Chains A and B, each alone.
Chain A
Amino acid sequence: MSKVTVPPAVKRLLYVFYGLAACLVLADWLIHRHVSHPAESVFAFYPLFGFVACVLLVFAAAAMRRIVMRPPAYYEGAEPADEKSEDVAFSESDDVDGQILEGEAQNRRVDPSPGEDGP
Chain B
Amino acid sequence: MMESQIILASLDWIAQFRVLAVVPPAVLYFLAALLVLWSGHRVGRVVMLLMPVLGMFQLAAMFAIKPNVTLSLLDMSLVVLRVDSLSLLFALLFNIAALIGVIYALHVRDRLQSVSAMCYVGSALGAVFAGDLLTLFIFWELLALSSVGFIWARRRPESMAAGMRYLLVQIVSGLLLLAGALYLYEQTGSLVFNHIGLDGPAGWLILVAFGIKCGFPMFHGWITEAYPAATEAGAVFMAAITTKVAVYALARGFQGEELLVYVGVTMTCFPIFYAVIENDLRRVLAYSMINQLGFMVCGIGVGTTLAVNGAIAHAFNDVIFKGLLFMSMGAVLLQTGRINASELGGLYRTMPKTTVLCIVGAMSISAFPLFSGFVSKAMIVTAVLEEHYEWVWLALLFASAGVFHHAGIKIPYFAFFAHDSGLRPTEPPTNMLIAMTISAVLCIGIGVFPLVLYQMLPFDMVYSPYDATHVLAQLQLLWFSALAFAWLNLRGWYPPEIRSVNLDVDWLFRKLVPGVVSVTMPHLGRIGEHLTFGIGQGLQRMGGFLARGLVVLVGQATSIRLMAMYLVIVLMLYLFLDGLMMLVG
Report the nearest B residue to A37, measured CB to CB.
Answer: B385
Q: Is the CB of B476 within 8 A of A46?
A: yes
Chain B CB within 10 Å — which of A25, A27, A67, A94 has the most?
A94
CA distance in complex: A21, B481 (Å): 10
Q: How far, in Å, is B567 (CB) from chain A's closest CB? A: 33
Q: Could you mark each residue 473-486 of chain B with 1 if its beta carbon is under 8 Å from any beta carbon of chain A, else 0?
A: 11111111111111
Query: Are A33 and B468 CB-contacts (below 8 A) given A51-B484, A62-B495, A95-B497?
Result: yes
* A58 in contact (CB, < 8 A): yes
| Complex contacts, A48 vs chain B, CB 8 Å | 480
* B430 in contact (CB, < 8 A): yes
Checking A55, A83, A117 against B484 with a beta-carbon cut-off of 8 angstroms, the contacting residue is A55
| Complex contacts, B486 vs chain A, CB 8 Å | 14, 17
Q: Is the CB of A119 within 8 A of B430?
A: yes
Q: Is the CB of B385 within 8 A of A91?
A: no
| Complex contacts, B277 vs chain A, CB 8 Å | 61-62, 64-65, 68-69
| Complex contacts, A21 vs chain B, CB 8 Å | 479-480, 483
Report the nearest A residue to B467, measured CB to CB.
Answer: A34
Q: Is the CB of A3 within 8 A of B491?
A: yes
Q: How far, in Å, is A59 (CB) from chain B's closest CB? A: 8
How many chain B residues have a CB neighbour from A under 8 Å?
Answer: 73
Q: Is the CB of A60 within 8 A of B273?
A: yes
CA distance in complex: A96, B492 (Å): 11
Chain B CB within 10 Å — which of A33, A51, A60, A65 has the most?
A51
Q: Is the CB of B502 within 8 A of A70?
A: yes
CA distance in complex: A24, B388 (Å): 27
Report the nearest A residue to B503, measured CB to CB.
Answer: A68
CA distance in complex: A33, B390 (Å): 19
Q: Could you mark each residue 491-516 of chain B with 1 if its beta carbon is under 8 Å from any beta carbon of chain A, else 0?
A: 11111111111111000001100100
Query: Are A57 and B157 CB-contacts (below 8 A) given A4-B492, A119-B429?
Result: no
Given contacts A3-B492, A40-B473, 10 further A-B contacts (CB under 8 A): A24-B476, A31-B472, A50-B481, A57-B401, A79-B157, A92-B342, A104-B499, A114-B334, A116-B107, A119-B431
Listed by A's residue number, 23 A-B pairs whose Cβ atoms lie within 8 Å are A1-B492, A3-B490, A18-B483, A21-B479, A28-B472, A31-B472, A37-B390, A40-B473, A47-B479, A49-B401, A50-B484, A57-B272, A58-B484, A58-B494, A62-B276, A62-B277, A62-B495, A69-B503, A76-B158, A95-B496, A104-B499, A111-B333, A119-B106
